[in-house]
Structure formats: structure tokens, C-alpha cells
Amino acid sequence: MIDILLVLVAGLLGGMLNAVAGGGTFLTLPALIFAGVPAVSANATATLCALPGYVSSVWAYRRDLHTTANMPALRMIAVSALGGLLGAGLLLITPNDTFLIAVPGLMALATLLFAGGPQLIRRLLARDMLAPTGAAIALLLVSIYGGYFNGGLGIMLLAVLGLIGYTDLHAMNGLKNALSVLLSLVSAVTYALAGVIAWDYAALLAGAMIAGGFLGAHFARRIRNTARLKQFIVLVGVVMTVIFTVRLF
């Protein structure tokens, strides 16, 4: 009963955070692991449950979706799908104990990306764009990461889109969300076929995250100081990183 309550609360709060500023993974993945779900299965389940939020975000940015000549839409879709498949495959061959050891590092990386993301994006937008081949390689690497682990994916995709040549943040956010849907869908289907999704917890978590997303969207308009909220999310990321690090010893 406590495990179910933990997952429901984490899903509700995670959905709210994702709707306002992101960072829901800092709550949903640890909750599943603390509930007793094996680490690889917990990561796969959290990725699946993030999908509804990505889909709703794509709908919100649907009028801003467009690609550049540096990377046409079909190439972007193909590269992202391939990366998501490779990343998911890499997770499936990772032993649970090994992934559990990697979780603190992955959480720390996601926390750093969340904390320093805006500054990183501004610097990349000021640089010359990558050549088509370099852009494809960069997107492939980020897509592999996204297929393996979802935390911090949004910031990494924005960074790559900046290197590809995008300067319109609305278009970048729209494409980031669309690519997140594609990556998560490819990964989730791969995980489902491999039988690593914890479906009992997935149903609870997805429902709670959808409810949290609606609540977050409602309250987001009333939040005036988003900087404090982001600081809180970074703090949550740091705390979870420390907890998982301590658990290793």
C-alpha cells in the first residue's frame, strides 16, 4: 500500500513539475525503484509514463513545428528513431546492478543539465551551426542517450537544435517535444516487446502524471517566480543523486 501511495504521489508531483518547468524524472524514477521495481524496469516504465506529457506539449506547439535545410524532417525522424532504438537496446543489455550503479551519475548529469541548460542554449545559439553530417551525428548521440535515459533529454535536444541552426526558441521547443515523443515511443515499444515494463505501476504512474500535468498547467499561470521553482527542482535532483550514491555503499 505504501509503495502504491509513493508512486501515485511521485507521479502527481512529477506531472506537475513537467508541466511547469520539467524535472519530473527526479521523482518518478526514484519512486519506482524505492517501490521495489528493478532499476532497468523502473527506467523503462518511467520513460513510457512520460509520453502523455510530451504528446500534450507537441499539441501546444503544433503551429511552431518546422525544420531547417540543414536537416530535413525525414532525416531528423530517421536519426532520432535509430538513436532511440539503439539507446533502448543498450539499456536492455545493461544488468540491473550495473544500471543501479549508473543511476547516481545519470541523475547528476540530468541535474547539471537542468541547472545550466539556459546558459548552455544561449552559448550554442551564438555559435556557427554544424555541417549536416556533424548535425546528424550530434542528434544520433543525444537520441541514444534519450533512448537509454530520459532525464535531461529536453535540454540536450535544445542544445543540438541550436547547433543545427535553429534560433527561434518556439520552433526549438516544438521540435524538442516532437522528438521526445518519437524517442520515448520507440523506446517504450522496445521495452514493452522485451517485457520489462512494470505494467501495474505504469498504469498508476501514468494516471497520476496526467492528473498532475493538468494541475501543473493550471497553477503554472499563477507562478510568478519560476527561478525559485527551478532551484527547488535542482535541489530535488541533488538530494536524489546523494541518496542513490549512499545506497551504493
Gap between the Cα atoms of 66 and 64, Å rounded: 6
pLDDT, tens digit (0-9, with 9 covering 90-100), for 37-48:
999 999 999 999
Q: 10, 25, 15: which is closest to 218 by C-alpha?
A: 15
Q: What is the DSSP-derived secondary structure letter of residue 63?
A: G
Name the band, by pLDDT with cuts 50, 70 and 90, for residue 180.
Answer: confident
pTM of the model: 0.83
Closest CA to 17 of 184, 208, 170, 239: 208
- For cell 551519475, name the residue: 105
How many H-runs (helices) and E-runs (strands) does the chain carry? 10, 0
193-224: pLDDT as tens digits = 999 999 999 999 988 888 887 777 666 666 66
Confidence class for position 122, pLDDT limits 50, 70, 90: low
Q: Which amino acid belongs to residue 145?
A: Y
- Cα-Cα-Cα-Cα torsion 240, 242, 243, 246, nearest 10 degrees, comes to 160
At residue 66, the pLDDT reads 65
Joined together, the cell numbers standing for residue 224 give: 510568478
User: What type of residue sits at position 46?
Assistant: A
